[in-house]
Amino acid sequence: MKVTTLKINGQLVSASPGATVLEAARENGVEIPTLCELEGISNVGACRLCLVEIAGSPRLQPACVTEAAEEMEVQTDTERLKRYRRMTLELLFAERNHVCPVCVANGHCELQNRARENGMDHVRFPYQHPDLPVDITHDRFGVDHNRCILCTRCVRVCDEVEGAHTWDLSGRGTQSIVITDLNQPWGEADTCTTCGKCVEACPTGAIFRKGSTVCEMEHRRDRIRFITDARKKQEWNP
Amino acid sequence: MANPKPENSKARTLTIDPVTRLEGHAKITLHLDDKGRVADARFHVTEFRGFEKFCDGRPLWEMPGITGRICGICPVSHLLASAKAGDEILAVAVPSAATKLRRLMNLGQIVQSHALSFFHLSAPDLLLGMDSEPASRNVFGLMAAEPELARGGIRLRQFGQEIIESLGGKKIHPCWAVPGGVRGQLVDAKRTAMQDRIPEALRTAREALALFQKLASKFEEEAAALGDFPSLFMGLVGEDGTWEHYDGTLRFVDATGSLVADGLDPRDYRSFIGEATESWSYLKFPYYRDHGYPDGMYRVGPLARLNLCERMGTPLADEAWQQFRDTAGGKPVTSSFYYHYARLVEMVGAIERIEILLDDPEILSDQIRSNAGVNRLRGVGVSEAPRGTLFHDYTVDEHGLIEKTNMIIATGQNNLAMNRTVLQAAQHYITGNTIPEGLLNRIEAGVRAFDPCLSCSTHAFGQMPLQVALYGPEGGKLDERTRD
Residues of chain A contacting residue B65, judged by C-beta atoms under 8 Å apart: 101-102, 213-215
Which positions in chain A touch B183 (Cβ < 8 Å)? 213, 216
Contact A212 B57 (CB under 8 A): no
CATH of residue A154's domain is 3.30.70.20
Residue A96: name the closest of A146, A170, A35, A36 by CA.
A146
Q: How far is residue B428 CA from its own chain's centroid?
A: 25
Residues A67 and A150 in one domain: no
User: In terms of domains, do A136 and A73 share one?
Assistant: no
Q: A146, A214, A215, A217: best mutation site toward chain B, by most B Cβ within 10 Å? A: A214
Domain that holds residue A202: 83-232
Q: Among A77, A111, A130, where does a domain finish?
A: A77
- Whether the predicted pLDDT of A42 surpasses 80: yes
- Whether the CB of B369 is below 8 Å from some CB of chain A: the reply is no
Q: Is residue A138 part of a domain?
A: yes
**What is the distance in angstroms between the Cα of A211 and the nearest Cα belonging to chain B?**
6
Structural domain contains residue A237: no
Residue B66: the pLDDT is 94
d(CA B250, CA B238): 9
Q: Could you read off the pLDDT tens digit of each residue along chain B, which spans 484 residues?
A: 334 444 555 677 878 787 766 666 778 888 888 877 888 888 877 656 678 888 999 999 999 999 998 888 889 999 999 999 999 999 999 999 999 999 999 999 999 999 999 998 888 888 888 888 888 888 888 888 889 999 999 999 999 999 999 999 988 888 899 999 999 999 999 999 999 999 999 999 999 999 999 988 889 888 888 899 999 999 999 989 999 999 999 999 999 999 999 999 999 999 999 988 887 777 888 999 999 999 999 999 999 999 999 999 999 999 999 999 999 999 999 999 999 999 999 999 999 999 999 999 999 999 999 999 999 999 999 999 999 999 999 999 999 999 999 988 888 899 899 989 989 988 888 776 666 777 778 888 888 888 887 656 543 223 334 566 667 666 666 776 665 4
Q: How many CB pairs under 8 A join A and B?
A: 44
Count of domains in chain A?
Answer: 2
Mean pLDDT over the full length of chain A: 96
pLDDT of amino acid A77: 96
Give the mutation candidate from B69, B71, B82, B175 for the A interface (greatest A CB count, under 10 A). Answer: B175
Q: Which residue of chain A comes nearest to B172, CA vs CA?
A: A101
CA-to-CA distance for A214 and A106, rounded, in angstroms? 7
Same domain, A20 and A71: yes
| B472 and B11 Cβ atoms separated by less than 8 Å | yes
Q: Which residues of A are less than 8 Å from B399 in CB distance?
A: 136-137, 187
Q: How many angstroms separate the most distant Cα atoms in chain A?
A: 56
- Chain segment A165-219, per-residue pLDDT in tens: 999 999 999 899 999 999 999 999 999 999 999 999 999 999 999 999 999 999 9
**End of a domain among A60, A77, A94?**
A77
Q: Per-residue pLDDT tens for A220-234?
A: 999 999 999 999 999
Give the distance from residue A93's alpha carbon to the nearest chain B alpha carbon, in angstroms: 18
Whether residues A102 and B66 touch (CB distance < 8 A) is answered with yes
A73 and A105 housed in the same domain: no
Instruction: Kindly report the nearest CA distance between residue B94 and chain A, in angstroms.
Output: 16
Q: Is residue A128 in some structural domain?
A: yes
Give buried/exposed letters for A23-38 (b at 16+ CB in 10 A, else e).
bbbbbeebebbbbbbb
Whether A238 is in a domain gets the answer no
Query: Exposure of B188 by Cβ count < 10 A (0-12 exposed, 13-18 middle, 19+ buried)?
Result: exposed
**Residue B15 is inside which H or E element, if any?**
strand B12-18
CB–CB of B371 and A211 under 8 A?
yes
B175 vs A contacts (CB less than 8 Å): 213-216
Contact check, Cβ <8 Å, A211/B66? no
Q: What is the pLDDT of residue B453?
A: 76
Pairing of strands A4-8, A141-144: unpaired
Distance CA A167, CA A182 (A): 9
By C-alpha distance, the chain B residue nearest A129 is: B54
A113, pLDDT greater than 80:
yes
- Residue A215 sits in the same domain as residue A132: yes
Would an 8 Å CB–CB cutoff place B400 in contact with chain A? yes
pTM of the model: 0.90
* Element of type H or E holding B478: strand B477-480
Residues A65 and A146 in one domain: no
What b/e string do you get for B192-201 counting C-beta neighbours within 10 Å, with b at 16 or more? eebeebeeeb
Last residue of a domain, one of A45, A77, A109: A77
A191-197 contacts: CB < 8 A, separation 24 or more? A191/A164, A191/A165, A191/A166, A192/A138, A192/A164, A192/A166, A193/A162, A193/A164, A193/A166, A194/A138, A194/A139, A194/A140, A194/A141, A195/A162, A195/A164, A196/A140, A196/A141, A197/A157, A197/A158, A197/A161, A197/A162, A197/A223, A197/A224, A197/A227
Q: Which domains does chain B have, with CATH numbers?
A: 12-47+413-480 (no CATH), 95-228+350-365 (1.10.645.10), 229-334 (no CATH)
Is B53 in CB contact (< 8 Å) with chain A? no
In sequence order, the β-bridge partners of residue A90 are none
Whether residues A87 and A22 fall in one domain: no
Residues of A in Cβ contact (< 8 Å) with B371? 211
Supply the CATH number for residue A67's domain.
3.10.20.740
The shortest CB-CB distance from A134 to any of B57, B65, B175 is to B57
- In angstroms, the separation between the Cα of residue B139 and the nearest Cα of chain A is 30
DSSP symbols for A45-58 = --S-TTEEEETT-S
Instruction: Select the residue from A97, A100, A102, A208 to test the B interface by mutation, using most B Cβ atoms within 10 A.
Output: A102
Q: Which secondary structure element, helix H or strand E, spans residue B482, and what is its range?
A: none
Residue A71 pLDDT exceeds 90: yes
| CB nearest A214 (choices: B175, B371, B400) | B175
How far away is chain B from the Cα of A76, in angstroms, using its nearest Cα? Answer: 38
Please report the pLDDT score of residue B466 as a whole number: 57
Residue contact A214–B66, C-beta within 8 A: yes
Residue of B nearest to A132 (CA): B57
Nearest to A102 among B62, B179, B183 (CB): B62
Nearest residue in chain B measured CA to CA from A103: B62
Same domain for A95 and A171? yes
A207 shares its domain with A97: yes
Report pLDDT for B12. Answer: 76
Is B66 within 8 Å of A215 when comparing Cβ atoms? Answer: no
DSSP string, B252-320: EE-TTS-EEEEEE-GGGHHHHEEEE--TT-SS-EEEEGGG-TTTT-EE-SHHHHHHH-SB-SSHHHHHH
